[in-house]
Amino acid sequence: MRETLADWRPAIDEAIADLVPRDVDADYLESFFGDPTYEYDSGGIQRALSTPLWDLLDRGGKRWRAVLFLVFVEGFGEDPADYVHYACIPEILHNGTIIVDDVEDGATIRRGERALHHVYGHDIALNAGNAMYFLPLKVLTEDPGDLPAERRLAAYEMLMYELNRTHLGQGMDICWHNERAVRVGVDEYLEMCACKTGCLARIVGRLAAIITGQPDDVEQAVATYAELTAVAFQIGDDILDVEHSLGRAGDFGKEFGNDIREGKKTLLVIHAIEESPPERAERLQAILGADSNTDEEIAEALAIIEDAGSLEYAREFALDLAATAREEIDRLAFDDETTRKLHEFTEFVIEREA
Amino acid sequence: MRETLADWRPAIDEAIADLVPRDVDADYLESFFGDPTYEYDSGGIQRALSTPLWDLLDRGGKRWRAVLFLVFVEGFGEDPADYVHYACIPEILHNGTIIVDDVEDGATIRRGERALHHVYGHDIALNAGNAMYFLPLKVLTEDPGDLPAERRLAAYEMLMYELNRTHLGQGMDICWHNERAVRVGVDEYLEMCACKTGCLARIVGRLAAIITGQPDDVEQAVATYAELTAVAFQIGDDILDVEHSLGRAGDFGKEFGNDIREGKKTLLVIHAIEESPPERAERLQAILGADSNTDEEIAEALAIIEDAGSLEYAREFALDLAATAREEIDRLAFDDETTRKLHEFTEFVIEREA
């Protein structure tokens, strides 16, 4: 394994460029997509596919889904260098969902720059994002690891299962977003996270297990580890939004309380509504359901969440999930170095910066 | 085989309802998507998935992709009743692309009613459309035909190949749409159609061949037949838009020349620009590239296309493609009844109503 996880990034980006090169030409199109029936327009495909994909990737992102995949592969006793192309599968899928989510959520900023649909138009952005749901699966067909047919079949079936659940999770999230009232409880919130964010993480673990031929119980354990870690991260995000907003609530002109402005039903909000006195719970509901809010209303909502102890509750919850994730790993026979790396992934749940 | 092709529609809709029931409940969710980690919100999933899907299907549509699949299956000597669930795969995929295309194109009307993103919001519509790229593939996992593993693997690989090319085609189309000048020639136009429309048709033929275990040359022949027929249909659509507009150009207040208003680079437009005297070709380019057009300008563009003989050229072209499609079928050892049905599919290319 390379010295630090970040050392893998150039190799991962090189493998992504094998799938979708920065400069598209007819040779690439024929080798990747097959002979054209008539004639490809490589200039059009460059602008429709490669340019937006690399724009997003070049904005940063830690490629942690690809790196986590390679940690698993090494933990399973294989040389990760042989599996870098497979590592691109969850990474490109994830970046595709980001583009599509940003269109669905009407986001304006992504990784510090204008969201892709604001740069290229929503038609190009959406089609590129959707193409990224299928492009990386080509790795399974090209089969650089010369895998037995049953592993390739298992990989496709796993991917279809998890991608179906990803759309369930996104569907629930969008629905709640569009509803004014907070109708759901903690378990439904966690299920939404487990589907929407967790399934892409599960793909990381399950794909590594399937491709290297691990038994079912190992595949399930790494899937659970990845799902729990992803849900804990999501809760961490929700906490950071509130903490960041509480710190900023005095600075006029600064954006704060974004999740509340968007009416997001986070774990903190669900907890605060369940635990606050009725009139304060109703007030929080009203602020979340309003078409727009003043800064004072946002500050009021943040105070209701803080007073309900929802930050402590959510922090404990996320830390518990991360601890359970580590237990899943400890039950497996990984070497100490792999176990250490996998523990490390669960440790940034709350501590990281916004 | 049922007496007429339309007789299959109730069985097809029943099979679709097995995949996505009109009324979603926890039992369905658990049986189809697996046990929840926490708890599903079946009400949310109903509104996010089932309601928009059935709204679109209930507006009509001939389910011809499913019917064509069943014609092939019977032609290959199998009982189509045993394969109705597989017939849903191309049908649901097709309806998913319609929802997504309408968002990408900013369409307002679909099958005589408001486009789905105008009814449910673009977030719900998009997520439902994208979910329909993965939902039907569950049939391969559930495996009602008890297929050998190599056929299931071949089906996944074929689907990924064709769905990748579908996004290439859509990418080319969107790019040209956004460009003002007509930059591409006939071969690139045909390639766009072959990818965008043809690949979904190819899935119909190839899936039927793979699932029933046909040799490669048969799979290739039915794929070519389906692709040619789809491209011919697309050209037929473009012809009908111009013919319909020429007939209506005198009626004030009626919409006409939609393709020209949208700046679509159809086979007729490409031909007219290549064959018209330079100043008329430039005039057509200018009208297509303008942000908006008067009715007089649309009538002028239509006249340039008509005078260039582009209607006759496109009609001949589409009829040639349909004839070549029939030749592909004639080389195969289908029974007369199947051959007749497959010929029938190619005969509505130009003759159908707009």
**B141 to B146, B202, B212: CA distances (angstroms):** 10, 21, 16
How close does chain A come to B34, measured CA to CA in Å? 9
Q: Do A160 and B140 touch (CB under 8 A)?
A: yes
Residue among B165, B176, B47 at smallest CA distance from B97: B165
Same fold, B1-146 and B148-354: yes
Q: Which of A291, A194, A351 is nearest to B40 (CA)?
A: A194
B153 contacts A153? CB cut-off 8 A: yes
Q: Let me know: does B212 contact B338? Beta carbons within 8 Å.
A: no
Mark yes or no for CB contact B138/A164 under 8 Å: yes
Residue among A130, A137, A191 whose CB faces B167 most closely: A130
pLDDT at B1: 46
pLDDT of residue A297: 94
Contact A190 B37 (CB under 8 A): yes
Using DSSP's 3-state secondary structure scheme, residue B28 falls into helix
For chain B, which residues make up each domain, given as ranges? 1-146, 148-354
Interface contact A324, partner B, CB < 8 A = no
Q: In chain A, which residues have pLDDT < 70?
A: 1-5, 248-255, 352-354
Q: What is the pLDDT of residue A354?
A: 43
- How much is the pLDDT for A3? 56
Structure letter (DSSP) for residue B346:
T
Token code pair at residue B209: 């061949």
For residue B154, the chain A residue with the least C-alpha distance is: A153
Q: How far is A214 from chain B (nearest CA, A)?
A: 19
Inter-chain contact A34–B165, Cβ cutoff 8 Å? yes
Contact B311, B305 (CB under 8 A): yes
Listed as ranges, residues in chain B with pLDDT below 70 are: 1-5, 248-255, 352-354
Per-window interface: B 46-75 vs A, CB < 8 A: 47-49
B164 and A33 within 8 Å at the Cβ level: the answer is yes
Residue B315 confidence (pLDDT): 96
Grouping H, G, I as helix, E, B as strand and the rest as coil, residue B114 is strand
**Token output for B32:** 């189809």
- Partners of B47 on chain A (C-beta within 8 Å) are 175
What pLDDT was estimated at residue A254? 52
The one-letter code for the residue type at A133 is Y
Side-chain-side CA neighbours of B197 within 13 Å: the count stands at 18
Residue A104 has a pLDDT of: 94
pLDDT at A352: 66
Candidate from B137, B167, B227 with C-beta closest to A127:
B167
Which residues in chain A touch residue B38, judged by CB atoms under 8 angstroms apart?
A: 186-188, 190-191, 194
Contact B102, B115 (CB under 8 A): yes
Task: Fill in the DSSP letter of residue A136.
Answer: G
| CB of B344 less than 8 A from some CB of A | no
> For B148-354, which CATH class?
mainly alpha
Which residues in B lie closer than 8 A to residue A126 (C-beta atoms)? Answer: 100, 103-104, 126
Scan residues 253-312 of A and list those with Cβ closer than 8 Å to B. none
Q: Which pLDDT score, from 0 to 100, does residue A248 have?
A: 61
B34/A165 touch (CB, cutoff 8 Å), yes or no: yes
Looking at residue A187, its pLDDT comes to 95
What is residue B290's three-state secondary structure? coil
Q: Verify whether the Cβ–Cβ distance A178 to B104 is below 8 Å.
A: no
Of A48, A187, A198, the CB nearest to B174: A48
What's the pLDDT score for residue A42? 95
What tokens were used for A139?
Answer: 């790795």
CA atoms in the 13 A half-sphere facing the CB of A85: 17
Q: How many CB atoms lie within 10 A of CB A84?
A: 22
Looking at residue A325, its pLDDT comes to 97
Which one-letter DSSP state was computed for residue B253? T
B121 touching A (Cβ < 8 Å): yes
Q: Which CATH number fits domain B1-146: 3.30.420.40, 3.40.50.920, 1.10.600.10, 1.10.3720.10?
A: 1.10.600.10
Count of beta carbons in the 10 Å neighbourhood of residue A146: 6
Distant-in-sequence, close-in-space partners of A316: CB < 8 Å, separation ≥ 6: none
Nearest to B157 among A39, A141, A163 (CB): A141
Confidence (pLDDT) at B24: 96
Give the A:B interface size as CB pairs under 8 Å: 222
Chain A residue with CA closest to B156: the answer is A156
* Interface touch A174/B127, C-beta < 8 Å: yes
pLDDT of residue B254: 52
**Cα–Cα distance between A116 and A105 in angstroms, integer?**
13
Among B263, B261, B203, smallest CA distance to B227 is for B203
